[in-house]
Amino acid sequence: MKEVLLIKNGELALKGMNRRTFEEMLIKNMRRRLESLGGFTFTTAQSTIMAEPLRADCDLEEAAERLKKVFGIAGFSRAAAVEKKMSVILRAAEEYLAPELLAARTFKVEAKRSDKQFPLRSPEICAEVGGYLLRKYPHLTVDVHNPDLTVTVEVRDAYAFIHGKQIKGAGGMPTASAGRAALLISGGIDSPVAGYMLAKRGLELVAVHFASPPYTSERAEQKVCSLLKQVAKYSGRIALYIVPFTEIQEQIKDHCPEEIFTVIMRRMMMRIAQTLAVRERCGALITGESVGQVASQTLPALACTDAVCSIPVFRPLIGMDKDEVVAISRRIETFEISILPYEDCCTVFTPRHPRTRPTLDYVARCEQALEIDALAQRALENVRFMQIRAY
């Protein structure tokens, strides 16, 4: 029996952006995500996308797992695709849904008949399939209000589809439908969550990580790659730039007051990230900051950081408590990676008494001791690039 995936669009019936473009983006994203499982053909009709595996031995279980994380999908089902003949439909429902029918005590049948040529109408399809299944599975009773199992029969162009439970999708908007943004990613808990949240709204991610070898290790970099690999299961592949930050940090340490160290470091990060962002056609920066979490995340400190940015800075965690962020990071399975104990460049030269209310004036004066442009330029010249893929 041919088995396929039937995908229902999420927020796609949308204002402004045309539906067709959205569907095409979603299909492109699904195609990429499922590629290594042997390839699928996608066909669209009446807000449902059918994904049909090219290979008979395709691992549909794994395909379903992957689809659960693709943004832009409200829900989907694994379905049997059969000839549009009542006798075939009955037999297929009996066999294909056997495990679910055996496990249920109550059920109902729903029919959708989008092929208006089909001889039976929806209520007749329901009655026939329902009666047939009751005879084959005598332990069942019908409950139209709150059934354990809903058997759905959809009669469409090429096939009749039979499926049981619908699997919940990730929601959100297809990746890249809202443009691109550059995610500043550390090895911590927050920034992967921030990236995930904005990918959900349709932003394609480009990641920027600052590394300070030998203060930070090779393993810290690998940790960032592992985090991004996990985020990429949701966001699709991510371009990663690794920026050498050692010289900048040493210069700040040698020439600027310790109390203002973090803010100056954050401003350097933003300047460099922004240059990369613009090069990569990103319309915004994303960070994992939230108000008051650390000294560099007070309002005056955030204002000093923002002052060097000319594109919007998105901080999706800005109003969240740590435990709320942790809950998301556990759900998207970045938490266990984030808590691995490798040093991040932020923790290398942490000031003992950071100033929580820096003024822009003071920060700018302190920065005069640095050759900002030359430092940024050198870091950019030595950037390393890699592509992170989920599978």
Binding stretches for ligand ATP (CB under 6 A): 184-186, 188-191, 208-210, 269, 287-289, 293-294, 296, 344-346
Q: What is d(CA 249, CA 343) in angstroms, rounded to the nearest whole number?
A: 14
State the helix-helix crossing angle for 261-279 and 360-367, rounded to 10 degrees.
Answer: 80
Among Mg ion, ligand ATP, none, partner that 191 touches (CB below 5 to 8 angstroms by kind): ligand ATP
Cβ at position 186, least distance to Mg ion in Å: 4
Among ligand ATP, Mg ion, none, partner that 184 touches (CB below 5 to 8 angstroms by kind): ligand ATP
Sequence-ordered list of residues with C-beta below 8 angstroms from that of 188, at least 6 positions apart, any chain: 288, 338, 344
Q: What is d(CA 1, CA 155) in angstroms, rounded to the nearest whole number?
A: 16
Report if residue 189 touches Mg ion, rule: CB under 5 A: no
Cβ at position 226, least distance to ligand ATP in Å: 14
Q: In the complex with Mg ion, which residue's Cβ is closer, 175 or 338?
A: 338
Cβ at position 69, least distance to ligand ATP in Å: 21
Among Mg ion, ligand ATP, none, partner that 293 touches (CB below 5 to 8 angstroms by kind): ligand ATP
Q: In the complex with ligand ATP, which residue's Cβ is closer, 186 or 230?
A: 186
Please name the residue that has the structure tokens 């800005």. 318
Pick from 66, 70, 78: nearest CA to 12: 70
Cβ at position 236, least distance to ligand ATP in Å: 20
Task: Classify burial at 382, counting beta carbons within 10 Å of its beta carbon; exposed 0-12, middle 13-18, buried 19 or more.
Answer: exposed
3 state SS of 64: helix
Asked whether the beta carbons of 276 and 183 are under 8 A apart, the reply is: no
Among Mg ion, ligand ATP, none, partner that 288 touches (CB below 5 to 8 angstroms by kind): ligand ATP
Among Mg ion, ligand ATP, none, partner that 153 touches (CB below 5 to 8 angstroms by kind): none
Residue from 186, 216, 226, 275 that binds Mg ion (CB under 5 A)? 186
Report if residue 297 touches Mg ion, rule: CB under 5 A: no
Among ligand ATP, Mg ion, none, partner that 267 touches (CB below 5 to 8 angstroms by kind): none
Q: In the complex with Mg ion, which residue's Cβ is closer, 188 or 195?
A: 188
Cβ at position 372, least distance to Mg ion in Å: 23
State the helix-helix crossing angle for 246-255 and 372-381, rounded to 10 degrees.
Answer: 160
Q: What is d(CA 267, CA 231) in angstroms, rounded to the nearest whole number?
A: 25
Cβ at position 212, least distance to ligand ATP in Å: 8
Q: Where are the alpha helices (DSSP H) in the chain?
A: 19-34, 60-67, 86-96, 98-103, 122-136, 190-200, 218-235, 246-255, 261-279, 299-306, 322-331, 335-338, 360-367, 372-381
Report if residue 188 touches Mg ion, rule: CB under 5 A: yes
Going by their DSSP bridges, the two strands 238-244 and 167-171 should be labelled as unpaired
Q: In the complex with ligand ATP, which residue's Cβ is closer, 98 or 307?
A: 307
Q: 220: which 2 tokens?
A: 């810290």
Among Mg ion, ligand ATP, none, partner that 185 touches (CB below 5 to 8 angstroms by kind): ligand ATP
Q: What is d(CA 94, CA 334) in angstroms, rounded to the nearest whole number?
A: 41
Pick from 169, 224, 184: nearest CA to 316: 184
Q: In the complex with Mg ion, which residue's Cβ is closer, 67 or 224?
A: 224
Report if residue 288 touches Mg ion, rule: CB under 5 A: no
Q: What is d(CA 61, CA 45) in angstroms, rounded to the nearest whole number?
A: 24
The interface mask with Mg ion, positions 325-344, x = CB under 5 A, is -------------------x
Using Cβ positions, the residue closest to ligand ATP within the complex turns out to be 188
Counting residues that bind Mg ion (by CB under 5 A) gives 4
Cβ at position 225, least distance to Mg ion in Å: 16
Q: In the complex with ligand ATP, which residue's Cβ is closer, 53 or 195?
A: 195
Report the interface residues with Mg ion, using CB under 5 A.
Answer: 186, 188, 344, 346
